[in-house]
Amino acid sequence: MATRRYVKQALSQWMKADGPDSDVVLSSRVRLARNLRGCPFPMLAAPEQSEDVMDQLLSVAENGRLNGLGPLDLIRLSELTELEKQVLVEKHLISPNLANESRNGALILSQNEDVSVMINEEDHLRIQILRPGFQLREAWEIASKIDDVFEEQVDYAFDESRGYLTSCPTNVGTGIRASVMMHLPALVLTGQINRILSAVTQVGLAVRGIYGEGSEATGNLFQVSNQITLGQSEQEIIENLHQVARQIIEHEKAARMKLVAESRTRIEDRIRRSYGILSHAAIMDSKEAAQRLSDVRLGVHLGMLPQVNEQTLNELLVSTQPGFLQQAYGEPLHPDQRDMTRAELIRSRLAIS
Amino acid sequence: MQCQECGKRPATLHFTKIVGGEKTELHICESCAREKGELIPGAQSGFSIHNLLSGFMNFDPTGAGTELKQPAVRCDTCGMTYSQFSKIGRFGCSECYKHFSNRLDPLLKRVHGNTVHSGKVPKRAGGKVKVKREIDELKKHMQNRIEQEDFETAAKLRDRIKELEKEANGG
């Protein structure tokens, strides 16, 4: 078996680059949903039909049409273990839907993992671009170029009035879902978060937890994304999300300044306590880890913990997830063992940095 | 506490679901949860966007009762009926959009506030659409020039529109 870097390393290469506003925005993401003409959507497709779709789409990469993206991994989901699939979900490289429900599902993954093309998810084709920090426009531009390459090679289901036709009516039109992953500890601490998030939902955007639809917001991480895909152009959708996210960033930064100005010692105490516990605890469940890592992240950005590296925190965000922990350990772990392994991992990573 | 599924191992995962004030609790062990696919984050929610959508789709714009008198609307291509679609919240194939067309406007209006696409058009599949869009844009522009009494530019735009129209009809 090949090295399978994508399930061995917690931190994707793309996350190591510096992005704009990375003290608040961890990453920006754009995904486009597309389907092929003349084949039922994956949910209804017969095995031979979905296999044909998979072959057609994989061949676009095999024929070198995507060479501009550098070396690519072509992965059939059937080659992966359940644990490996879970790791890819935890790294946001595939969706839970592709991991759990797809038939003839496949993945085209770039070397630094910023481009992941999902095949036979809810739609035949889903092109996903991840960028570090606040880079929505850049992500859209790359996604659109890859979209053009596929469109040259395969026939898309497109309708003059409805746009790109998708399995779910919530994606029809542009098929675009753009999102930003934001760390908003100061807005949570100052109790402003609910007011801001409810305002966000009133302008056609949605707020979710770190793992998308149905997931809880842990570690003060929020994913803000567009809801409307029909009747607005991609540029309008990106611009709307960009403007709203920009405002949230400014509010968060202002709240951090206020916290430091008004209760510096209290906030520093909280941060140092969390750092102390993470550096010394022997048992750490995922919820506590998420909360304390959020405190430490805030500490890094407030300049209170110069010994901690932001990269380490980004890596721990993935490597402390249940799937990754077990994958790294080499065998399934009982939840108690998992909490011990997690504590050990965090201790060692914080000690090095 | 024992696992509700297998009754053998201790329950280590606890789910609470509150739907319309009704609270249901689920206490299960690791391996039963894995079987149910509830370990993967985001997958454990029984309430998805599709459930919400099917609520929208039962919305009957013409008034109560008409639903029953109509014969089942069915997509000829994949065989999905409209009532199946409204339960699952997903189309069976791209042709469903045509077959369910006259029922989709109220649904799309509710979800997106719009019924017509105005974004990117693919180069091949949408060749003619692209030209039509360009013609519309140029006509708007020409109108604007006429209002400004800039007839020279307006005449140039008119010629360009004629060219494009020829192209659209010929190609």
Residues B88, B76 within the same domain: yes
Positions in chain A whose pLDDT score sits under 70: 1-3, 211-217, 352-353
- Indicate whether B36 pLDDT > 90: no
User: Parallel, antiparallel, or unpaired: how do β-strands A115-119 and A125-132 relate?
Assistant: antiparallel
What type of residue sits at position A328? A
Is A280 annotated for ligand binding? no
Taking only the tens place, the pLDDT of each residue in A9-39 is 888 999 888 899 999 999 999 999 999 999 9
List all residues of chain B from 106 to 135 with a beta carbon under 8 Å from chain A: 107-108, 111-126, 129
Residues B36, B70 within the same domain: no
Specify the CATH number of the domain A1-14+29-173.
Answer: 3.30.590.10
Contacts of B11 (CB under 8 A, 6+ apart): B1, B2, B3, B4, B27, B28, B29
Is A37 annotated for ligand binding? no
> Which residue reads 């922990």 in tokens?
A325
Interchain proximity B117–A231, CB inside 8 Å? yes
**B99 and B77 in contact (C-beta within 8 Å)?**
yes
- Indicate whether B49 pLDDT > 60: no
Domain count, chain B: 3
Which residues sit opposite A118 in a β-bridge?
A107, A126
- Indicate whether B66 pLDDT > 70: no
* pLDDT at position B126: 67
- Indicate whether B82 pLDDT > 50: yes
pLDDT band of residue B55 (cuts 50, 70, 90) is low
For residue B120, is it within any domain?
no
Interchain proximity B123–A100, CB inside 8 Å? no
What radius of gyration do chain B's Cα atoms show?
27
Which residues sit opposite A108 in a β-bridge?
A74, A117
Mean pLDDT of B146-150: 91
Closest by Cβ to B90, choosing from A43, A173, A176: A43
ipTM field: 0.87
- Expressed as residue numbers, the domain containing B24 is 1-47
Domain residue extents for chain A: 1-14+29-173, 263-352
What sign does the dihedral A173-A178-A184-A187 (CA atoms) show?
Answer: negative
Chain A residues lying within 8 Å of B91, measured CB to CB:
41, 165-169
- Cα separation, A329 vs A351, whole angstroms: 20
**A138 and A131 in contact (C-beta within 8 Å)?**
yes
* pLDDT at position A133: 96
Nearest CA in chain B to A145: B122
Residues B2, B40 within the same domain: yes
Of A265 and B6, the structure prediction assigns the larger pLDDT to: A265
Last residue of a domain, one of B85, B112, B139: B112
* pLDDT at position B51: 55
| Chain A touched by B63 (CB under 8 Å) | no
| Chain A touched by B40 (CB under 8 Å) | yes
- Cα separation, A247 vs A209, whole angstroms: 19
Interchain proximity A40–B93, CB inside 8 Å? yes
Residues B64, B104 within the same domain: yes
* pLDDT at position A1: 42
Last residue of a domain, one of B112, B136, B158: B112
- Indicate whether B35 pLDDT > 90: no
Which residues sit opposite A224 in a β-bridge?
A180, A207
- Cα separation, A87 vs A72, whole angstroms: 19
Residues B66, B98 within the same domain: yes
* pLDDT at position A128: 98
Which residue in A92, A153, A158, A208 has the most chain B C-beta atoms within 10 A of its own C-beta, making it the best mutation to test that interface?
A: A158
Residues B57, B86 within the same domain: yes
